[in-house]
Amino acid sequence: MGILRSVENVKWTAGQIYRYMLQDHTGNWGMDINHWDWVPGVGIIAMLSYYERTGEAKVMDDLIGWTRKNFYQAEKVKVINAMAPYAVFPALYEHSHDFVYLETAESIGNWMLTEAPRTREGAFEHTVTENVQFPEQVWADTIFMAVLFLARLARLTGNVSYAKEAVRQLELHLDLLQDKETGVLFHGWNSAARNHLSAARWTRANAWIAVATPMIVKELDGLVAVPEETLDRYQTLMRSLTRFQQADGLWSTVLDQPTFYAETSGSAGIACGIVKAVRQGLLETAFLEAAYRAVDAVILKVTPGGEVTGVSGGTPIMPSIEAYNEIPCHPSLFGQGLVLMLLAEIWDGSNGA
């Protein structure tokens, strides 16, 4: 157990990150939690993970308060990338027994099954709230932003239709995005052009699926079986990711570009995925060494005030691999969130924290 990963330091750092998220960041797109989109969505998914670890009533109160304050904005942004906040609704319903959470979740789940735009392969098209269209594009981000919600809704309701769709989307995304040469994922796939666009092996894209897959598999346990081929693809992904880890414990913002800057959020997401996957028996315990190296490096990226540094900004599929290295870094709720999820996952002393 390293000094950085001592239980006391992990708890203190996580608490600082959480408190920084709830400060008034009005007007700061990356940090303003009071709007409805994927950015605050990742933040509140992480807040739920933090609550599940701490059991602090205030955290649950903060989550419920956030939904009541921001829910009115949801109807304006019914796109795949803005599904992320709904991922906490099943848990909020179980906690509060407020039928608004259940009814809303089922309505959104049915929209995803029957109306959400899809590519010709049947994958969810990556639609966003910004006034930009990505027709026939599949992005790795979708698995965390939308499919995690479907899996949680399936567990809550027992509705196998949601569960089967979650499995189908995981299969499709891994099949369309996984690079046969390296085993890791490309950022996106263009179904019309039949290519991976700039063919960037972007780290945070890999992180979204690295962390979301064990979360989805856990939710679907007892409902539907995830095919062995899909689990094999995931295991190949995780083995391959460890080969790109840099000497300092982080991953470059593009996996196979070691001279590009080290990126904190993607590194945290990959490490969190490793720990979750080991706990669920999807990976061998030997993988934890890579995760703990990343934890030590990530903690050093957190300021005493709780700001996570070294986080690349919101990133569409860039026109070239080099362009990913030009994305500026700034604090964001998705960076705060992925690091908070990682720390909440590892502070159990029996798992090396």
pLDDT 10s digits, 272-323: 999 999 999 999 999 999 999 999 999 999 999 999 999 999 999 999 999 9
- Average confidence (pLDDT) over 108-134: 86
For residue 3, is pLDDT > 90? no
If you count them, how many residues does the chain have?
353
Percent of the chain with pLDDT over 70: 96
Q: Which two tokens stand for residue 243?
A: 């080969």
- Average confidence (pLDDT) over 129-156: 88
Percent of the chain with pLDDT over 90: 90
Q: What is the pLDDT at residue 172?
A: 98
Going from N- to C-terminal start, the domains of the chain cover 7-345
CATH architecture of 7-345: Alpha/alpha barrel (1.50)
Measured from the Cβ of residue 201, the count of other Cβ atoms closer than 10 Å reads: 26
For residue 351, is pLDDT > 80? no
For residue 328, is pLDDT > 50? yes
Q: What is the DSSP letter of 197?
A: T
> Is 84 in contact with 62 (CB distance < 8 Å)?
no
Q: What is the pLDDT at residue 248?
A: 97
Q: What is the pLDDT at residue 4?
A: 80
Which phi and psi angles does 69 have, rounded to 5°?
A: -80, -35
Q: What is the pLDDT at residue 344?
A: 97
Q: What is the pLDDT at residue 76?
A: 79
Bridge partners of residue 188, in order along the sequence: 139
Q: What is the pLDDT at residue 127?
A: 78
For residue 350, is pLDDT > 50? no
- What is the enclosing helix (H) or strand (E) of 189? strand 188-190
Q: Which of 148, 187, 168 shows the shortest CA–CA distance to 45?
A: 148
> Is 134 in contact with 123 (CB distance < 8 Å)?
no
- What is the enclosing helix (H) or strand (E) of 47? helix 38-54
3-state SS, residue 254: strand
Q: Which of 124-138, 161-175, 228-242 has the lowest mean pLDDT?
A: 124-138
For residue 348, is pLDDT > 80? no
pLDDT band at 122; cut points 50, 70, 90: very high
Q: What is the pLDDT at residue 311?
A: 98
